[in-house]
């Protein structure tokens, strides 16, 4: 992870000031769910759509900046992470050109890593502050999706990884407590399970399992050491 990404400026009109003097202490990762980066760029810069992000990264590693980091982009929408309900005012949004059904390319991931390292240094954002759109809005969002390599970011200190724990007996109360403590919002059990699996075990299917409790134990440990 070295050098600096070649950032192209593509200003958009859909942004505003961060509310109540907030500073970004989070990064929210998205996929575009569109056929190309150019199509996503056009949509993100269309003032009639009223959505935006700070950055967009193409499959080949090209990076566009649409909103200055100090401003409030309109990327997260309704949702919650920990006690934060206005996620837009507390975060920097990065869109990754990806339909959601295929892996993220090496040039794209490499550009993301360099971009994130710079953002995290400038704003003193901890790995625990890096989340996916589906983490904070699991009722309506899946991105960055099951093909995103969270473990890769964690290995480089760019996202929070979980320590190893033993599988446990399925226990919904313990699972909910761990997930809520980690930051996930208060949603129904099945929605919560799907959101946690998207982040940590996207291949998981079916009922709450011992492997999910293993993740819950890791989340509980992370809470005690990261917040």
Per-residue pLDDT of the chain (227 residues; tens, 9 = 90+): 556 678 999 999 999 999 999 999 999 999 999 999 999 999 999 999 999 999 999 999 999 999 999 999 999 999 999 999 999 999 999 999 999 999 999 999 999 999 999 999 999 999 999 999 999 999 999 999 999 999 999 999 999 999 888 889 999 999 999 999 999 999 999 999 999 999 999 999 999 999 999 999 999 998 765 54
pLDDT for position 3: 60
Residue 8 in tokens: 């192209």
Structural domain span for residue 110: 7-155
pLDDT for position 220: 92
pLDDT for position 183: 97
For residue 73, tell me if it sits in a domain: yes
pLDDT for position 223: 73
pLDDT for position 1: 58
SS3 call for 54: coil
Tell me 105's DSSP state. P
Last residue of a domain, one of 155, 180, 209: 155
For residue 163, tell me if it sits in a domain: no
Tell me 147's DSSP state. T
For residue 160, tell me if it sits in a domain: no
Instruction: Say yes or no: 40 and 143 in one domain.
Output: yes
pLDDT for position 224: 62
For residue 214, tell me if it sits in a domain: yes
Instruction: Say yes or no: 144 and 75 in one domain.
Output: yes
Residues marked active site are found at 95
Residue in the block written with tokens 């649409």: 66
For residue 204, tell me if it sits in a domain: yes
Instruction: Say yes or no: 148 and 212 in one domain.
Output: no
For residue 31, tell me if it sits in a domain: yes
Q: Specify the pTM.
A: 0.96
Instruction: Say yes or no: 52 and 109 in one domain.
Output: yes
Instruction: Say yes or no: 43 and 139 in one domain.
Output: yes
For residue 166, tell me if it sits in a domain: no
Instruction: Say yes or no: 222 and 123 in one domain.
Output: no
Torsion region of 183: left, alpha or beta (phi above 0 gives left; psi -120 to 50 gives alpha): left
Last residue of a domain, one of 155, 182, 212: 155
- 3-state SS track over 11-28: CCCCEECCHHHCCCCEEE
Instruction: Say yes or no: 150 and 182 in one domain.
Output: no
Instruction: Say yes or no: 204 and 140 in one domain.
Output: no
Of 156, 159, 203, 162, the residue nearest 179 (C-alpha):
162
Instruction: Say yes or no: 188 and 118 in one domain.
Output: no
Residue 137 in tokens: 């809005």
CATH of the domain at 37: 3.40.80.10
**What is the tally of structural domains in the chain?**
2
d(CA 184, CA 191): 11
Instruction: Say yes or no: 90 and 177 in one domain.
Output: no
C-alpha distances out from residue 209 to 190, 195, 197, 215, Å: 12, 15, 11, 10
For residue 164, tell me if it sits in a domain: no
């Amino acid at each position: 992870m070295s050098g600096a990404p070649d950032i192209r400026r593509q200003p958009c009109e859909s942004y505003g000031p961060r509310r109540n003097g907030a500073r970004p202490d989070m990064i929210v990762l998205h996929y575009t769910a569109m056929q190309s980066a150019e199509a996503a760029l056009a949509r993100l810069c269309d003032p009639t759509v009223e959505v935006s992000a700070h950055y967009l990264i193409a499959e080949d590693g090209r990076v566009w900046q649409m909103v200055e980091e100090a401003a409030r982009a309109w990327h997260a929408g309704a949702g919650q992470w920990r006690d934060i309900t206005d996620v837009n005012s507390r975060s920097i949004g990065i869109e990754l050109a990806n339909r959601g059904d295929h892996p993220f390319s090496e040039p794209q991931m490499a550009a993301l890593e360099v971009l994130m390292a710079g953002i995290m240094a400038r704003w003193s954002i901890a790995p625990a502050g890096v989340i996916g759109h589906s983490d904070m809005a699991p009722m309506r969002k899946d991105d960055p999706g099951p093909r995103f390599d969270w473990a890769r970011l964690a290995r480089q200190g760019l996202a929070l990884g979980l320590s190893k724990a033993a599988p446990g007996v399925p226990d919904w109360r313990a699972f909910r407590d761990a997930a809520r403590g980690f930051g996930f919002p208060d949603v129904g059990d099945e929605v919560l399970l799907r959101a946690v699996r998207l982040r940590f075990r996207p291949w998981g299917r079916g009922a709450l399992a011992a492997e999910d409790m293993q993740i819950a134990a890791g989340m509980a440990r992370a809470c005690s050491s990261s917040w």
